[in-house]
Homo-oligomer: A and B are copies of this chain.
Amino acid sequence: MKKIEAIIKPFKLEDVKEALGSINVTGMTVSEVKGYGRQQGHSELYRGAEYVVDFLPKIKLEAIIADENVDSVIAKITEAAKTGKIGDGKIFVTNVERVVRIRTGEENEDAI
């Protein structure tokens, strides 16, 4: 099994969720993160002093999937999350050795 971590723009979450649903990936966990990268932070103003906000709000989406789905999942996420503008985010793939469903104790592919 693989873990897909995608850092995306917050307003793209719903689109990505639907895109993944269309290929039957219906389990995922998301969190609010802040990202730092090529996308220039904007400068904000606070009572007369300008300052740069380096870290921009992003959503991190994590989904554990079966090995054979990696390509299709990456394709779907890329398609749905893309705006073409800098800061669209990244996808990272790592290996997962074991998965357990707490409710039933099922393991691995059955537990996804």
Contacts and interface: CB of A to CB of B under 8 A. Distances in A.
Contact of A26 (B36, B60, B94): B36
Contacts of A96: 92-94
Interface string A57-70: 01010001000001
A2 B6 CA distance: 16
Interface size class of A (residues with CB under 8 A): 35 or more
A33 B31 contact: yes
Interface string A65-88: 000001000100110011111111
Nearest to A71: B98
20 contacts: A2-B97, A7-B29, A17-B36, A26-B38, A28-B35, A30-B34, A31-B31, A64-B90, A70-B98, A74-B98, A74-B100, A78-B100, A78-B102, A86-B103, A88-B103, A90-B99, A91-B98, A91-B100, A93-B96, A94-B96
